[in-house]
Amino acid sequence: MEKTKELQKIEDQFKTFQILDEKGKVVNEKAMPKLSDEELKELMTRMVYTRIWDQRAISLNRQGRLGFYAPVAGQEASMIGSQFALEKQDWILPGYRDIPQIHYHGVPLDQAFLWSRGHFGGGQMPEGVRVMMPQIIIGAQITQTAGVAMGLKKNKEDAVAITYTGDGGASQGDFYEGMNFAGAFNSPAIFVVQNNRFAISVPVEKQSAAKTIAQKAVAAGIHGVQVDGMDILAVYVATKEARERGLKDNGPTLIEALTYRYGPHTMAGDDPTRYRTSEEDSEWEKKDPLVRFRKFLEDKNLWTEEEEDKIVEQAKEDIKAAIKKADGAPKQKVSDLIENMGEELPANLQEQLEEYKAKESK
């Protein structure tokens, strides 16, 4: 397609925002966030922890000790950097891959494992932890986020609603509707698109002729920014700015984070070698968010191998304990499922509840 000047002008407005390059060097000193040494170390701790969690989850899934699992390795910076910019009072509406964000917002690991296995306990979010259950219908979380953000604004709360989808998700109608509603109502919403270049096997080029996903913000008349999603500082800063924009009543923001998943789409039989080259994989491995942030911290004498080993051990122990706890969850009964159907059960369910209770007491 030959580009018109108009098209080029739009694309030029969405240049990738980056703070750390692949070697861990600061390339945008002006944009550096004011984070303490402790906070910087916490970011790295969470990325290492999440990488181990991902490795363990894949192997637990292979052993049949976990169910549905969507790998996250490669996306640690975009997931953890964006969540780190939030406050406890902010709402998260995750997609099915966005389990790390809700974990760091307060959902315990064992509950994440129950959700993976398919147990209603996985959706019983702890009191005061403002997260919705991971959304399977790609796009539904986006229109819902417009509603949560409107509610927060009506309640005059000092809070925003953030949601996540992938590059494929940006083709859904609900993606546009959600952004457009939040724009029309000027609600404090943040829409994050984690563009890992593939929706299962379909490359992002087959989703749209648009050069960036960030520029889709133009259709809603809202702010849009493209960030290096392998750079945790850039993701953090972009989310922080979006949050402040929302709180100052300046409307929602679309953030496109350029990232990559090293693993398959899910553990349900997807084989990335069918649609990705090993050259592409190794090119993105050079961009690993852990590698560059580790170098950055080491240059500041804030990180050592021993520290990292300790975190790896801690993660493994926590995961073991969480799986054990998940194993201990009571088995689900049909009567539990019926009782969760409504505040007051309609007559048909009352009748079926009695039937199943009788069956269960045998």
**Which residues are part of the catalytic machinery?**
261, 265, 275
DSSP per residue, 164-187 = EEETGGGGSHHHHHHHHHHHHTT-
- Does 148 contact other proteins by CB under 8 A? yes
By C-beta, is 20 or 170 nearer to other proteins?
Answer: 170
- Does 347 contact other proteins by CB under 8 A? yes
The region of 48-56, 96-104, 141-149, 200-208 touching other proteins under the rule CB under 8 A is: 141-149
The region of 95-103, 116-124, 267-275, 316-324 touching other proteins under the rule CB under 8 A is: 116-124
Classify 277 as helix, strand or coil: coil
- Does 113 contact other proteins by CB under 8 A? no
- What whole-number distance in Å separates Cα of residue 114 and Cα of residue 177? 32
Dihedral sign, Cα of residue 260, residue 264, residue 268, residue 271 = positive
- What whole-number distance in Å separates Cα of residue 107 and Cα of residue 339? 23
- Does 184 contact other proteins by CB under 8 A? yes
| H-run or E-run covering 138 | none
- Does 177 contact other proteins by CB under 8 A? yes
- Does 257 contact other proteins by CB under 8 A? no
At closest approach, how far in Å is the CB of 197 from other proteins?
26
Residues 6+ apart with CB under 8 A from 262: 71, 73, 74, 281, 284, 285
- Does 178 contact other proteins by CB under 8 A? yes
Classify 223 as helix, strand or coil: strand
Q: Which residues within the stretch 298-337 sit at the binding site for other proteins (CB under 8 A)? A: 337
- 8 A C-beta contact, residue 182 and residue 151: no
- Does 137 contact other proteins by CB under 8 A? yes
Binding residues (CB under 8 A) for other proteins: these are 91, 93, 120-121, 123-125, 132-133, 137, 140, 142-152, 154-155, 161, 173-174, 177-178, 180-181, 184, 337, 339-343, 346-349
